[in-house]
Amino acid sequence: MKRSLVIGCAAVAFAAGCGTASAQAKFDILLGGDAYFQGAYVDQDNDTGLRQTEFANRFRLNITPTAKADNGLEYGARLRLRASGGTANNRSTDSDRAFIFVNGGFGTVQAGVINGLSDEYGIISPNVEGIEGSPDAQYLNYYVNATGAPYVLGSLRTLESGDASTKIVYLTPSVAGFQVGAAYTPVYGSSNTDVNRRKNSTAYHDMAEVQATYKGEFGGFGVEASAAYQFAKAASGLEDLSSVHVGANVSYADFKIGGSYAFSGDSGYATGTRGVDDQQVWIVGANYTLGPVILAATYTDAKGIDSNFAGLNSRAHVWQAGVTYTVAPGLTTGLEYSYLDNKVGGVNNDANIVLWDTRFAF
């Protein structure tokens, strides 16, 4: 019933807005993307056989062909290519976005490989990837969590919204700053031509997400907020997915503060699991912009099952601070310090991580 409603809303909106679309002959091909190079120094408790210094890099390229019909309908597709890691003799390139879209007075419909709503549009704090001092992923790449950090540290919004599976997404037009969206994914972990899979072949199936967002200004104050709910049926022997996320930021002049809360309970746990905390993550952060410089700080409190889903109880406190400098339009460099206080099953694996990040976006 719920998944039928999600699909039906997208289909009705698309059909109502399209009418007879006489397309122009010209298609525009838009190119964009980003790249970064990082260097890190890591000092952690469980470091047997590990290096203290690391380098990492990533390059992503967005290819977006678009056209506009005589009736105003905009349509096209997007492919995001990503240079993947590997050894010197085993390089590869993959894609983590591959979808078609239509935009019109009815809103937006996207269909294909894309992340969920809260991953794309959910508010976690003022500090997101690209701002040093952000909880959004990067420092964890350098933490070897032999005893398992909380799983939710990699899922700061709804629990599985970062799953780039084949899905359909509908977004309403923005009205007075408000926008609502819905998404449906038949099979968790699916991609491209992945069909005819049995419903218990992956952790979740029939996964749906709904989200509302708001952006506005009041007397010089800027406000942005989001609220999302994600649900799915789980494979035999696992708890169903039920995850909520709320977040908000407030800005004034050059200062911005905000945070978020996500609760996912025992989603994905083996049925009958005992002694493991419910999954939840609190985030609070602030930043200050001083010309080309952004000063940022974030605190994250996460708990729940370990990242390996081995049934261990995990708790982490993360303190972060960073400075980001805009060298030129699209080119930034910055320095970040993260202290991770992590305990899993009574075992400590604390870490100090110093990260230098230089990136180019175009």
Q: What is the pLDDT of residues 59-84, one digit of tens each?
A: 999 999 999 998 899 999 999 999 96
pTM of the model: 0.89
Q: Please give the CATH superfamily to which domain 27-361 belongs.
A: Porin (2.40.160.10)
Say what the pLDDT of residue 91 is.
74
Give the pLDDT band (50/70/90) at residue 170. Answer: very high
Which residue, 181, 183, 65, 196, is CA-closest to 114?
183
Higher pLDDT, 136 or 211: 211
Say what the pLDDT of residue 197 is.
62
Say what the pLDDT of residue 92 is.
78
pLDDT tens per residue, range 292-331? 999 999 999 999 999 999 999 999 999 999 999 999 999 9
Q: What's the rounded Cα separation, in Å, for the pair 54 and 353?
A: 11
Q: Does residue 172 register a pLDDT over 80? A: yes
Give the pLDDT band (50/70/90) at residue 193. Answer: low
Give the pLDDT band (50/70/90) at residue 124. Answer: very high
Report residue 120: phi and psi, to 5°: -80, -40
Phi-psi region at 140: left, alpha or beta (left = phi > 0; alpha = psi -120 to 50) = alpha
Q: What's the rounded Cα separation, in Å, for the pair 156 and 260?
A: 9
Say what the pLDDT of residue 293 is.
98
What average pLDDT score do residues 103-117 get? Answer: 96
Q: What's the rounded Cα separation, in Å, for the pair 106 and 95?
A: 29
Give the pLDDT band (50/70/90) at residue 12. Answer: very low
What average pLDDT score do residues 162-188 get? Answer: 96
Q: What's the rounded Cα separation, in Å, for the pair 11 and 239?
A: 31
Q: What is the mean pLDDT of the chain?
A: 91
